[in-house]
A = this chain, B = another copy of it.
Amino acid sequence: MKFCSTCGHTVSLKTPEQDTIPRYVCDACGVIHYENPKIVVGCVPEHEGKILLCKRAIEPRYGYWTVPAGFMENEETLQEGAARETLEEALAEVEIGEMFAVVDVVRARQVHVMFRARLIGDAYGVGYESLETLLFTEDEIPWDDIAFPSVRFALETWLEDRRLGRTGLLHMTTFRRPRP
């Protein structure tokens, strides 16, 4: 950030009074521009025991596999965001279930929130952010080509829950390393 989005003047990094963190403050109008972590919302879409994954057609991690997920938008709930991302990336309608994984991706300034989900019907396709989408059995999951640690965490905990017949558990973890 170099300029004030309110008045167009330059900004400087300074710690406002009663604050402890440096913020971009406008040199002219004094508006403080706060920057905060963003929410990435996604789901593990299940259909007849298989999981729907998307091969990314965008950077970062072009060509790697992910569950449907993306930045939560204003005016939507977490569940609506997860369903929207699935529709966009995999052209699939899902019924969103419980939240089961939360990952703090500290270095990326993101919190990833993952839901269980079920395909409604059996239609799916390839959204413009995907190169390919496919239903995988547990044995077929391309572990060496998973896009992000948070996706791996979501898949591993989801599969462990299923193996143990477990629901209702919220898995939380923190990644402080930069993403691969």
* A-to-B contact residues, CB < 8 Å: 1-11, 18, 21, 24, 33-39, 71-78, 98-99, 102, 104, 106, 109, 111, 128, 168-170, 172, 174
**Copies, count:** 2
Contact, CB under 8 Å: B99 / A77: no
Known: A37-B39, A111-B78, A170-B170. A3 touches B2 (CB 8 A): no
Kindly state the separation between the CA atoms of A33 and B5 in the bound complex, as whole angstroms: 10
Which 4 pairs of residues, A with B, have the shortest CB-CB distance? A3-B8, A77-B104, A1-B5, A74-B109
Kindly state the separation between the CA atoms of A111 and B71 in the bound complex, as whole angstroms: 13
Contact, CB under 8 Å: A128 / B18: yes
Contact, CB under 8 Å: A2 / B2: no
Known: A73-B36, A78-B104, A128-B18. A169 touches B172 (CB 8 A): no
Q: Please give the distance in Å from A77's CB to the nearest CB on chain B.
A: 4
Known: A39-B111, A104-B78. A7 touches B18 (CB 8 A): no
Q: Please give the distance in Å from A82's CB to the nearest CB on chain B.
A: 12
Neighbouring B residues of A7 by C-beta, 8 Å: 2-3
CB within 8 A of A34: which of B71, B98, B99, B174?
A: B71
Contact, CB under 8 Å: A74 / B174: no
Kindly state the separation between the CA atoms of A174 and B72 in the bound complex, as whole angstroms: 15
